[in-house]
Amino acid sequence: MTPERIATLVARWARLYTRRLPAPIAERRIEELGADVHDHIAHERAHGTGDRLIALGLLSRLVRGLPADVSWRGRHSPVARSVVRVALVTAAILLVPLVAMQLSGGVAWSPADFAVAAVLIGGAGLLQQLTARRVSDLTYRAAAGLALAAGFLLAWTALAVGVVREPDDPLNAMCAGVLAVGAVGAVLARGRPRGMARALLATALAQALAAAVALVASLAGGPTDRLGSVADVLGVNGLFVLLFAGSAWLFARAGRGSRAPVPAPHRSGHHDR
Amino acid sequence: MARRKPGTLLPIETEILEAALAMQRTQQATFHGFGLAQTLREQRGSRSLTGHGTLYKALGRLERFGLLTSTWEDAPAAEGRPRRRLYALTQQGAEAAERALAARPAPSATSPVPRLAPKPA
């Protein structure tokens, strides 16, 4: 182990944790560290310190600074910060059923349940963060938040308790179709408010159609008390129709006077640190 | 890592400001990262130098707060070695350092006096 080898390691680590940061920030950190390491080695050699001890000292400084390096990187990389924030919130939410399982026999989540919940919560959170970063218009943000909340609730309800009868009822698969309409519509709209309004309106109509199919199936299949009450089907599906339609209305309002989402102000880190 | 209360400085930041103030008083207007790490080691009476990440993250924060400023060393002054980033205390930083020193309990007569000016590398 030589000081030069550790110096190379320090430089590689610096290049790694400054990757994809704005060039002025990355270059400053790399150059400043290079000067520090050079000074460190020169100073110790001038004082007669052995190479092994110098290398150990450098390695120690590198290792003890790792947490701060990672934290500094997070501060300068808003995307990484958003991902960490969403991951923490998701973990915090999932702690609730985990703790409840220890306290009550009535809560029994399988690892698959946790995985699905993590994907749903994390996915919704990431989309929300993406929207908040891209758009500053509050109406647009509210519309997107409502659409995401409705989509999340629909998926959660369909998987957990069933929008139509029990979760394993094939009619619940229609919820996937409703969500697909919204997702495809959003992709086609490319985030433009008016296009998003149309996509969400189509989603609301798809939800209404799913409710109509469920009602027809219920009425055709036997007594309503066996199939779940008509009021339940109408109530649950009606709520989602209202949520998607409400989101469409907000998108339409956001679209008045603008054809593209208003970009959010750039919030990356300072260029000199 | 220590958590920050709003409007307060972390211990490492206070230490840096105090070291910078002491250097300023000895007519050393600017300092660089490794020199500061040496000074901090002597201030603490420690054997190890501050970790790279800890040191430069703290310097960056102090600069962001307007307590320090920094510029690159001129290329001729570097004399062939990698150029250093030179830091200097701002007026606001000097006031913050004075306040930190005033709030600190007086050292005992037997405690060693740290050498605050870094030796040239």
Question: What's the order of all strands across the beta sheet hosting B68-72?
Answer: B30-31, B85-89, B68-72
Residues B70 and B58 sit within 8 Å (Cβ to Cβ): no
Is A35 in Cβ contact with B81 (below 8 Å)? yes
Is A43 in Cβ contact with B119 (below 8 Å)? yes
Q: List, in sequence order, the alpha helices (H) in chain A.
A: 3-17, 23-46, 51-64, 66-76, 78-103, 111-134, 138-160, 173-189, 193-221, 224-227, 230-255
- Chain B residues in contact with A39 by the CB 8 A cut-off are 32-35, 81, 84, 121
Is A35 in Cβ contact with B82 (below 8 Å)? yes
pTM of the shown model: 0.54
If you average pLDDT over residues A195-213, what whole number do you get? 88
Element (H, E) at B19: helix B11-25
CA A55 to chain centre: 41
Architecture of the domain spanning B11-103: Orthogonal Bundle (1.10)
- When scoring B31, B39, B52, B119 by the number of chain A Cβ atoms within 10 A, the one with the most, hence best to mutate, is B52
Element (H, E) at B15: helix B11-25
Is A65 in Cβ contact with B54 (below 8 Å)? yes
Domains in chain B: boundaries: 11-103
Residue A153 has pLDDT above 90, yes or no: no
Helix, strand or coil for residue B8?
coil
CA atoms of B3 and B24, how far apart (whole Å): 29
pLDDT digits (tens, 9 = 90+) for A28-64: 999 999 999 999 999 999 999 999 999 999 999 999 9
Whole-complex ipTM = 0.82
- The encoded tokens of residue A77 equal 């990389």
- Chain B residues in contact with A69 by the CB 8 A cut-off are 52-53, 57
Confidence of residue A25 (pLDDT cuts 50, 70, 90): very high
Check residue A170 and report its DSSP letter.
G
Element (H, E) at B71: strand B68-72
